[in-house]
């Protein structure tokens, strides 16, 4: 009978020396795989940052997928050859919106993908990302980010799927399914609560046990249920203990309660932080021991072999405790098939990466992620009526991928057939109209000569770049300070060359036919100019094919259908702001503000109109089904996202005023009607009572069906009593 991965791992573990065990829980990352790389790289480590991520910056042309594959193969070959027991390493990397070992297919940033409200699309995207990782030999990725953003000052908002528990859980799980089906280990991060009040990245978490259970933990659980085999601990501390050494999180909840049987890794240098930043350990060796004993299994990214060895020698860590960590790592390697099939085919990588099918999916994804926020009868543009189009704003000349985890280290992502918005517009209109680009100083003279003007915004944000001001930045430069950004996030200066708010106002005054296109990863304060701009598009960073999708949407070839996965506040003074808040004892308003967002969660306009009728609710063996007839009553084909919210009262504890319970994206041709059904399992009505017991406790639940969190057209009431659900007549 063939042995299981666990059995093979246990047999191998008993044969390993202490040093071999230490190497399996430590790792290394070398920034430049040229020159003396072979001498600097110790082939005994169990985990490596894939060298492809660093292969491009010293070359006149980027490394091809085949070249990256060959380098990773050599990495693996040297490790297997040097290992006394021929243990292959795990080559890892990032993959938030594309395989980040080089010039792989670049999809919309996660915040944009969430705007699709389409987990099936997310899984297709993740499947491509998984294929483009696996084909070159990258077998573990540090994705997805399933931290909720409930304070958009957090610079890493762009990496997330927004503010809602249900949506983040669904998108994260879909990402994990797509990756794992290709033999790539998904590593949801950052476990579990990754920022603090004010949107401050990695700051101490004041989150209560209840809020952690209700809000921040469910997306991780959904990822593990979807097959994720690893997890990355957060930098910050929760309940007084750094997440990298938090036994409550890494052992009691993750393994004992949830039954997770994968392995846990640190965020880069997170274990060092137990001593250096959190000051909970007196030495690096003590910090390493605290982490490994708590349930962390791999210390990333640099060589910490001697540190762990010292922990053993000083008695901070026993070899029996270390064995638990090593067993989990070896089991993962056997499950991946690394021992049986460690190498990849460079020619296959060249054929697969950024093939026509993958780029086509990038275009499809971009079409579903762009949100129409405002439209005073200016869009869609009519190509036949335009003779001159003015384009302004510095991001018009950039491929709209964003700088966050986009492409390899030290080199901008590049690829053929990946235009900037300016290039895409010129290609789209062809000879039908002239497309001219103008600098800020030319607005008054140039805008008046154009039939329509487009302004493309730019923003400074990302890892190590939290914001205290949500306004569009004006004439400033920014450089990530050493230690503030991630180790593999470039520190290249980002510069804004003009006062963007004033440019938008000047443009609207010069020519009323103006469209503002936001390119950003987190909400913008629009108070200064939103009343004057007749049309606003939230494009996020739509990826390598995003400029093409944007041109299609501007001219009506594609009907915008995306919805906001995060509410947009009027100003920074409203933060933190999210729709699923719990009831106030008095009210929500300020003396100078009604407390409501500028645009609510789930909002997004279309070029067509929809109507809904014949809404019904039925009980099923496993829960409830709510159905309605959806009709496209307008002039364009288009998709609508039906959203079902749950609002609870009469419960044993305070519940959110409104929560997304289910949703469905439906495409309708003009004049078409479809019957749409949303299903709710009984578990959708579970909550934690006062004793923190999770179950179907008593309460009344209003089900609100609509097209945003503030636009609902039908409602029903469901009663939970004595462990059963009843529909209120």
Strands 388-392 and 452-456: parallel
Using pLDDT thresholds of 50, 70 and 90, give the confidence band for residue 480.
low
The reply to whether 675 falls in a domain is yes
List the single range of 182-196, 297-311, 487-501 with lowest mean pLDDT: 487-501
Q: What is the pLDDT of residue 495?
A: 82
Residue 705 and residue 558 share a domain: no
Using pLDDT thresholds of 50, 70 and 90, give the confidence band for residue 728.
confident
Residue 624 and residue 556 share a domain: no
Q: Is 577 left (phi over 0), alpha (psi -120 to 50) or beta?
A: beta
Using pLDDT thresholds of 50, 70 and 90, give the confidence band for residue 493.
low
Residue 417 and residue 547 share a domain: yes
d(CA 508, CA 311): 65
Calculate what percentage of the chain has a pLDDT beyond 90: 90
Q: What is the pLDDT of residue 68?
A: 97
The mean pLDDT value for 675-690 works out to 97
Residue 441 and residue 381 share a domain: yes
Residue 449 and residue 542 share a domain: yes
Report the chain's mean pLDDT, rounded to a whole number.
Answer: 95
Residue 679 sits in a domain of what CATH number?
Answer: 2.60.40.10
Residue 499 and residue 637 share a domain: no
The reply to whether 378 falls in a domain is yes
Give the CA distances from residue 716 to residues 32, 167, 615, 648, in Å, rounded to whole numbers and listed in that order: 61, 22, 10, 12
Using pLDDT thresholds of 50, 70 and 90, give the confidence band for residue 679.
very high
d(CA 305, CA 296): 15
The reply to whether 99 falls in a domain is no
The reply to whether 298 falls in a domain is no
Using pLDDT thresholds of 50, 70 and 90, give the confidence band for residue 404.
confident
d(CA 146, CA 162): 9
Using pLDDT thresholds of 50, 70 and 90, give the confidence band for residue 500.
very high
The reply to whether 386 falls in a domain is yes
List the single range of 60-64, 157-161, 354-358, 589-593 with lowest mean pLDDT: 589-593
The mean pLDDT value for 112-122 works out to 98
List the single range of 260-264, 427-431, 451-455, 459-463 with lowest mean pLDDT: 459-463
Residue 533 and residue 397 share a domain: yes
User: CA Rg, the chain, in Å?
Assistant: 26
Q: What is the pLDDT of residue 90?
A: 98
Domain count, the chain: 2
- 263: tokens are 């392995």
pLDDT for residue 130 is more than 50: yes
- 454: tokens are 């487009």
- In 3-state terms, what secondary structure has residue 109? coil
**Residue 718 domain boundaries:** 610-727
Residue 515 and residue 402 share a domain: yes
Q: Which of 522, 549, 574 is the last residue of a domain?
A: 574
List the single range of 198-202, 291-295, 429-433, 511-515 with lowest mean pLDDT: 198-202
Q: Is there a contact between 193 and 203 (Cβ–Cβ < 8 Å)?
A: no
Burial of residue 724, with CB atoms counted within 10 A of its CB: 0-12 exposed, 13-18 middle, 19 or more buried: exposed
- In 3-state terms, what secondary structure has residue 592? coil
Residue 545 sits in a domain of what CATH number?
Answer: 3.40.50.1700
Residue 640 and residue 568 share a domain: no
The reply to whether 719 falls in a domain is yes
Q: What is the pLDDT of residue 413?
A: 94
The reply to whether 56 falls in a domain is no
List the single range of 99-103, 590-594, 655-659 with lowest mean pLDDT: 590-594
The reply to whether 442 falls in a domain is yes
Q: What is the pLDDT of residue 35?
A: 87
d(CA 366, CA 114): 11
Q: What is the pLDDT of residue 483?
A: 46
Across the strands, what pairs with 649?
700
d(CA 354, CA 98): 10
Q: How many residues does the chain have?
A: 729
Residue 513 and residue 655 share a domain: no
- In 3-state terms, what secondary structure has residue 434? strand
The mean pLDDT value for 444-458 works out to 97
Residue 517 and residue 382 share a domain: yes
Q: Which of 530, 549, 574 is the last residue of a domain?
A: 574
Give the residue carrying structure tokens 């001001």: 469
Q: Which of 554, 574, 594 is the last residue of a domain?
A: 574
The mean pLDDT value for 534-545 works out to 98
Residue 527 and residue 406 share a domain: yes
Burial of residue 32, with CB atoms counted within 10 A of its CB: 0-12 exposed, 13-18 middle, 19 or more buried: middle
Q: What is the pLDDT of residue 508?
A: 97
The mean pLDDT value for 672-682 works out to 97
């Amino acid at each position: 009978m063939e042995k299981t991965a666990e059995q093979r791992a246990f047999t191998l573990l008993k044969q390993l020396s202490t040093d071999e065990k230490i190497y399996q829980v430590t790792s290394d990352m070398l920034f430049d795989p040229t020159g003396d790389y072979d001498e600097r790289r110790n082939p005994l480590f169990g985990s490596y940052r894939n060298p492809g991520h660093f292969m491009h910056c010293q070359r006149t042309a980027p490394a091809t997928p085949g070249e990256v594959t060959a380098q990773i193969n050599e990495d693996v070959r040297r490790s297997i050859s040097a290992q006394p027991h021929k243990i292959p390493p795990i080559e890892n990397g990032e993959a938030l919106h594309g395989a980040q070992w080089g010039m792989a297919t670049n999809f919309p940033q996660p915040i944009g993908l969430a705007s699709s409200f389409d987990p099936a699309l997310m899984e297709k995207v993740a499947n491509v990302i998984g294929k483009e990782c696996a084909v070159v030999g990258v077998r573990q990725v540090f994705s997805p980010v399933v931290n909720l953003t409930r304070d958009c000052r957090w610079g890493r908002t762009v990496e997330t799927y927004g503010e809602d528990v249900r949506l983040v859980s669904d998108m994260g799980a879909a990402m994990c399914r797509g990756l794992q089906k290709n033999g790539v280990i998904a590593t949801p991060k950052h476990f579990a609560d990754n920022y603090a009040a004010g949107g401050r990245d990695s700051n101490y978490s004041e989150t209560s046990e209840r809020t952690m259970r209700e809000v921040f933990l469910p997306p991780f659980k959904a990822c593990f249920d979807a097959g994720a085999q690893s997890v990355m601990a957060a930098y910050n501390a929760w309940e007084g203990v750094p997440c990298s050494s938090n036994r409550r999180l890494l052992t009691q909840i993750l393994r004992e309660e949830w039954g997770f049987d994968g392995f846990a890794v640190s965020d880069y240098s997170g274990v060092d932080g137990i001593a250096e930043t959190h000051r909970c350990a007196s030495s690096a060796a003590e910090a390493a021991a605290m982490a490994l004993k708590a349930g962390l299994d791999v210390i990333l990214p640099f060589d910490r072999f001697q540190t762990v060895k010292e922990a053993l020698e000083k008695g901070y860590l026993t070899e029996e405790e270390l064995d638990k960590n090593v067993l989990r790592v070896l089991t993962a390697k056997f499950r991946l098939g690394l021992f049986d099939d460690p190498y990849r085919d460079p020619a296959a990588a060249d054929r697969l990466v950024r093939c026509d099918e993958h780029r086509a999916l990038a275009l499809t994804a971009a079409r579903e992620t762009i949100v129409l926020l405002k439209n005073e009868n200016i869009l869609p543009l009519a190509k036949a009526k335009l003779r001159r189009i003015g384009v302004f704003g510095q991001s018009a000349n950039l491929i709209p991928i964003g700088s966050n985890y986009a492409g390899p280290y030290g080199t901008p992502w590049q690829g053929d057939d990946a235009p900037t918005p300016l290039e895409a517009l010129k290609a789209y209109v062809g000879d039908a109209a002239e497309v001219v680009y103008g600098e800020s100083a030319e607005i008054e003279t140039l805008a008046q000569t154009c039939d329509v003007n487009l302004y493309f915004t730019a923003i400074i944000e990302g890892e190590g770049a939290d914001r205290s001001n949500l306004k569009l930045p004006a004439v400033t430069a920014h450089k990530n300070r050493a230690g503030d950004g991630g180790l593999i996030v470039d520190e290249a200066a980002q510069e804004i060359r003009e006062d963007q708010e004033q440019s938008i106002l000047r443009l609207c005054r010069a020519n009323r036919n103006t469209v503002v296109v936001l390119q950003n990863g987190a909400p913008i304060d629009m108070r200064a100019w939103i009343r004057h701009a007749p049309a606003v598009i939230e494009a996020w960073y739509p990826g390598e094919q995003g400029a093409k999708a944007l041109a299609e949407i501007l001219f009506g070839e594609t009907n915008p259908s995306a919805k906001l996965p995060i509410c947009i506040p009027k100003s920074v003074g409203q933060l933190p702001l999210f729709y699923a808040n719990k009831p106030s004892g008095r009210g929500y308003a300020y003396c100078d503000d009604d407390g409501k967002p500028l645009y609510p969660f789930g909002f997004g306009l279309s070029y067509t109109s929809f109507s809904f009728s014949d809404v019904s609710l039925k009980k099923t063996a496993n829960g409830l089904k709510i159905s309605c007839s959806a009709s496209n009553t307008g002039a364009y084909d288009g998709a609508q996202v039906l959203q079902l919210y749950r609002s609870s009262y009469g419960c044993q504890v305070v519940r959110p005023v409104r929560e997304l319970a289910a949703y469905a994206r439906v495409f309708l041709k003009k004049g078409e009607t479809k019957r749409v059904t949303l299903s709710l399992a009984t578990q959708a009505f579970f909550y934690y009572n006062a004793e923190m017991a999770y179950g179907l406790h008593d309460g009344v639940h209003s089900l609100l069906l609509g097209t945003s969190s503030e636009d609902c057209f039908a409602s029903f009431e469901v009663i939970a009593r004595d462990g059963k659900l009843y529909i209120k007549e």
